[in-house]
């Protein structure tokens, strides 16, 4: 068997298209010269389209999680209070970042499988008459639980209060609808290695005019993630420190692919893949972690595992050529996850479902072979019929 | 004319070997799985050999300058005093980082073209009876002036005082000798896009046991660059946040090339290229910025320009297929620089000298065509005769 050909169905890093891989092999260029400036322009324009914003989108060499730090250090001051709305492990991690940076964190925690309830957020914000809460932190898509939050409604609620709304869209942007300007988001951040189909190593972040104004009075010590430095370089079509040029080329190639598909087309593809995946999973007799299917993410599906998830994943990986993801933190022993974002197609979802079904069978769990694919095919056919 | 074939002779980013470019096209992998762990092991081992240390070398997705922040936030507390030893623009930038992070900066500044004088550092440290100075910051190689500091002697001086010695070796490591353990350096940082022959996007940093002990009591707020997080992941052959996997592959390929050449071989190659470049420059009748040739860097040569440097560089770039670097900050109008580090050979130095000589001639400055190359050839022949 060819064991190197293995389908990566984890929620990031995601598979790299051949065009993106090839783009990185271009010769190195001077980052203070014309060739870079035009690369910068094209990538910046592509990102603005993707974020649906007229604001600049800044690109840092860094992991997506660097955006968590960038969001906080540029807009707040030590001791400021932020409201963390958390529905899973990545929400909890952002809390740790905020605390490490000296912020006071109030928490609104929803159980794994639940989405953030905008009504509960409104209640808390309405009670904050003194406007102590300076910012609300929320995941667009919680990768660890496969839950998509209703950022649009949350944004309305937060706008009424006046706090800044900061959205971690690492596993959302490019796969799931996000309208930065129209919804009134203040900070949105993402990474290159998810729906953007690039290798990891770039952190992208947009700030609203409100957020940029807040940065004028922000007193958090900062250097690397400093908005002032990156903005003044941005105006010169540059970055303050040496940019990850090969990854810029990768991003350029990926953004051209997204432009060809259209942003709405990418959303529709992910919506279809999410529907197919959920239909398949349910046809196997398994249940979603999502307490309400309307909350289930179209970029990653979290499934309650009827057998030890590690066993299931090992069988899929070693015998069936498909890599699934495990659960994080307290979900490690109870769920597995199927990533379907980025350079992934309905055919890949079919493969992932096939492998999942067979991995269950091979581990002695009763399934009806073919049931999952049949259900997924029906979704696909329905989609094609319009 | 083929205008795309252009020789990049700037002090970073440097040209990418074909093996390194090809390495980045490998399929994406799970960063929490075996394939990544073995990649991590090999790269870590290669970096330890290059840093000449038994200590872990940590890799962050980031620009090299992120290492400046990592060095400071992990070892110091707000208000602590550091002694900045600066011989050029990158020294000045590190000062700004330290100030932005709330440190008190004492400065020892040497004029452009001068190296740091270890005796002057010793004087200042000897006067610090109260041991107020917690760390000394110095460039191994100041890219903006083409000056290499005597880190070995500086380290002896700093060791006697007891402060931590932090060395920015962004344009030094891999090109110029640095013995992290043997010299007693406490923090050394570099970037991938210089002598390491990789695209930009990785920041690498080593901490001595003393520096790691200092981090236990350090009170600087930190998240992204936090040593504790990266060290505990290191022990699990991982990184705390998603690593820049394609750049890890690039680094793996580059480190294999350096291993084949040997670290000492890479140093010798850069020594030869530095000598050739200086001989050629002097044969053109130009003078080095280095006030004493013994201080001149073997990774980048800074030259006093007899004509407007921008004109010279434009001619070389547009008509002669060679990209030279300009001067930074107050040196912009008076010098140009020839980078000769990374994936660069003596033949590339010959080309750079040829182009420089011709660019002078084409701009009306009197030169004797061929004189520079003749002088460089003599250095090369002398080297080959042993």
Secondary structure E strands in chain A: 7-8, 57-61, 81-86, 104-109, 133-139, 141-142, 147-148, 164-168, 187-191, 202-207, 300-304, 322-323, 325-326, 335-339
CB neighbours of residue A1 within 10 Å: 6
Q: How far apart are CA B200 and CA B190, in angstroms?
A: 11
H helices of B262-301, in order, are 263-283
The more confidently predicted of residues A386 and A367 is A367
pLDDT confidence band for B152 (50 / 70 / 90): very high
A108: left (phi over 0), alpha (psi -120 to 50) or beta: beta
CA B114 → CA A186, B118, B188, distances in Å?
A: 48, 12, 22
**What is the pLDDT, as a whole number, of residue B150?**
98
Mean pLDDT estimate for chain B = 97
A28-A33-A34-A40 Cα dihedral, nearest 10 degrees: 70
Q: Cα-flanking dihedrals φ and ψ of residue A256, to 5°?
A: -65, -40
- CB distance B215 to B226 below 8 Å: no
Instruction: Return the half-sphere exposure (C-beta side, CA atoms, 13 A cut-off) of residue A158.
Output: 27
Strand partners, A288: A303
ipTM: 0.95
Structure tokens at B23: 């390495």
Q: How far apart are CA B333 and CA B229, in angstroms?
A: 44
Name the 3-class secondary structure at B256.
helix
Name the 3-class secondary structure at B283.
helix
pLDDT surpasses 80 at B386:
no
- CB distance A349 to A276 below 8 Å: yes
H helices of A54-189, in order, are 66-73, 89-100, 118-127, 151-161, 180-183
Asked if B224's CB is within 8 angstroms of A100's CB, the reply is: no
Asked if A31's CB is within 8 angstroms of B13's CB, the reply is: yes
pLDDT confidence band for A2 (50 / 70 / 90): confident
Mean of pLDDT values over B309-331:
97
**What is the pLDDT, as a whole number, of residue A381?**
98
Name the 3-class secondary structure at A34.
helix
Name the 3-class secondary structure at B300.
strand
Q: Cα-flanking dihedrals φ and ψ of residue A138, to 5°?
A: -150, 150
Element containing residue B23 per DSSP (H, E): helix B18-23
Name every chain A residue with its beta carbon within 8 A of the beta carbon of B246.
16, 24, 199-201, 246-247, 250
- CB distance B15 to B343 below 8 Å: yes
Size of interface A-B (CB pairs under 8 A): 182
**What is the pLDDT, as a whole number, of residue A375?**
98
Q: How far apart are CA A23 and CA A21, in angstroms?
A: 5
Percent pLDDT > 70 in chain A is 100
Residues A91-139 have pLDDT tens digits of 999 999 999 999 999 999 999 999 999 999 999 999 999 999 999 999 9
Q: Are strands B141-142 and B104-109 parallel, antiparallel or unpaired?
A: unpaired
pLDDT surpasses 90 at B275:
yes
pLDDT surpasses 80 at A328:
yes
Name every chain B residue with its beta carbon within 8 A of the beta carbon of A102.
221
Element containing residue A260 per DSSP (H, E): helix A245-261
pLDDT confidence band for A1 (50 / 70 / 90): confident
**What is the pLDDT, as a whole number, of residue A58?**
98
> Which residues lie below 8 Å from residue B309, measured CB to CB, with a gap of 6+?
B326, B327, B332, B333, B334, B335, B336
**What is the pLDDT, as a whole number, of residue B69?**
98
Q: How far apart are CA A131 and CA A162, in angstroms?
A: 8
- CB distance A369 to A358 below 8 Å: yes
- CB distance A339 to A300 below 8 Å: yes
pLDDT surpasses 90 at A151:
yes
pLDDT surpasses 90 at A12:
yes
Mean of pLDDT values over B353-361:
98
Mean of pLDDT values over B257-283:
98
Element containing residue B122 per DSSP (H, E): helix B118-127
Q: How far apart are CA B23 and CA A199, in angstroms?
A: 13
**What is the pLDDT, as a whole number, of residue B141?**
98
Instruction: Pick B242's closest partner by Cβ from A25, A78, A193.
Output: A193
Which of B32, B36, B62, B78 is the mutation pick for testing A, counting most A CBs within 10 A?
B62
Q: Which residue has the tokens 């900070």?
A: A187
Mean of pLDDT values over B152-179:
98
Nearest by Cα to A47 from A241, A189, A200: A189
Residues A349-380 have pLDDT tens digits of 999 999 999 999 999 999 999 999 999 999 99
Q: How far apart are CA A305 and CA A294, in angstroms?
A: 20
**What is the pLDDT, as a whole number, of residue B3?**
74
Name every chain A residue with its beta carbon within 8 A of the beta carbon of B253.
none
Q: How far apart are CA A45 and CA A33, in angstroms?
A: 19
- Biggest CA–CA distance in chain A, Å, is 66
Residues A251-309 have pLDDT tens digits of 999 999 999 999 999 999 999 999 999 999 999 999 999 999 999 999 999 999 999 99
pLDDT confidence band for B2 (50 / 70 / 90): confident
Asked if B223's CB is within 8 angstroms of A100's CB, the reply is: yes
- CB distance A112 to A162 below 8 Å: no
Element containing residue A373 per DSSP (H, E): helix A371-384
Structure tokens at A344: 């992934």
Q: Which domains does chain B have, with CATH numbers?
A: 7-14+263-384 (3.90.1150.10), 18-259 (3.40.640.10)
Asked if B65's CB is within 8 angstroms of A62's CB, the reply is: no
Strand partners, B167: B138, B188
**What is the pLDDT, as a whole number, of residue A215?**
97
Instruction: Pick B62's closest partner by Cβ from A22, A61, A193.
Output: A61
Asked if A29's CB is within 8 angstroms of B24's CB, the reply is: no
pLDDT surpasses 80 at A50:
yes
pLDDT confidence band for B4 (50 / 70 / 90): confident
pLDDT surpasses 90 at B92:
yes
- CB distance B100 to A221 below 8 Å: yes
Q: How far apart are CA B58 and CA A76, in angstroms?
A: 29
pLDDT surpasses 90 at A3:
no
Nearest by Cα to B56 from B270, B208, B158: B208
Secondary structure E strands in chain B: 7-8, 57-61, 81-86, 104-109, 133-139, 141-142, 147-148, 164-168, 187-191, 202-207, 300-304, 322-323, 325-326, 335-339
Element containing residue B84 per DSSP (H, E): strand B81-86
Q: Which residues of B76-115 are buried (b: 16+ CB within 10 A; e: fewer)?
A: beeebbbbbbbbbbbbbbbbebbebbbbebeebebebbbb
Name every chain A residue with its beta carbon within 8 A of the beta carbon of B62.
60-62, 66, 224
Asked if A14's CB is within 8 angstroms of B66's CB, the reply is: no
């Amino acid at each position: 068997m060819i064991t190197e050909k293995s389908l990566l169905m984890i929620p990031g890093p995601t598979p790299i298209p051949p065009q993106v891989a090839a783009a990185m092999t271009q010769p190195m260029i001077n980052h203070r010269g014309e060739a870079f400036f035009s690369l910068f322009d094209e990538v910046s324009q592509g990102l603005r389209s993707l974020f649906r914003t007229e604001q600049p989108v800044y690109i840092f060499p860094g992991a997506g999680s660097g955006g968590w730090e960038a969001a906080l250090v540029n807009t707040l001051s030590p001791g400021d209070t932020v409201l963390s709305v958390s529905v899973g492990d990545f929400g909890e991690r952002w809390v740790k970042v905020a605390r490490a940076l000296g912020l006071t964190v109030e928490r609104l925690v929803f159980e794994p499988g639940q989405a953030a309830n905008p009504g509960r957020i409104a209640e808390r914000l309405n009670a904050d008459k003194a406007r102590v809460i300076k910012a609300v932190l929320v995941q667009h898509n919680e990768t660890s639980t496969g839950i998509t939050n209703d950022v649009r409604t949350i944004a309305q609620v937060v706008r009424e209060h006046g706090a800044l709304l900061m959205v971690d869209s690492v596993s959302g942007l490019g796969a799931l609808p996000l309208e930065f300007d129209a919804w009134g988001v203040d900070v949105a951040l993402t990474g290159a290695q998810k729906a953007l189909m690039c290798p990891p190593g770039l952190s992208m972040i947009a700030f609203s005019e409100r957020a940029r104004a807040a940065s004028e009075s922000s007193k958090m010590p900062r250097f690397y993630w400093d908005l002032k430095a990156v903005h003044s370089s941005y105006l010169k079509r540059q970055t303050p420190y040496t940019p990850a040029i090969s990854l810029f080329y990768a991003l350029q190639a990926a953004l051209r692919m997204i432009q060809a598909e259209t942003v709405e087309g990418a959303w529709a593809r992910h919506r279809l893949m999410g529907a197919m995946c959920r239909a398949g999973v349910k046809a196997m007799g398994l249940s979603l972690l999502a307490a309400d299917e309307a909350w289930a993410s179209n970029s990653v599906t979290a499934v309650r595992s009827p057998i030890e998830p590690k066993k299931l994943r090992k069988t899929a990986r070693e015998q069936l050529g498909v890599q699934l993801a495990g659960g994080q933190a307290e979900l490690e022993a109870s769920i597995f996850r199927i990533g379907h974002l980025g350079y992934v197609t309905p055919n890949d979802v079919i493969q992932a479902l096939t492998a999942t079904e067979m991995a269950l069978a091979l581990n002695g769990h009763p399934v009806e072979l073919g049931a999952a694919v049949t259900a997924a095919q029906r979704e696909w056919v329905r989609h094609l019929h319009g």
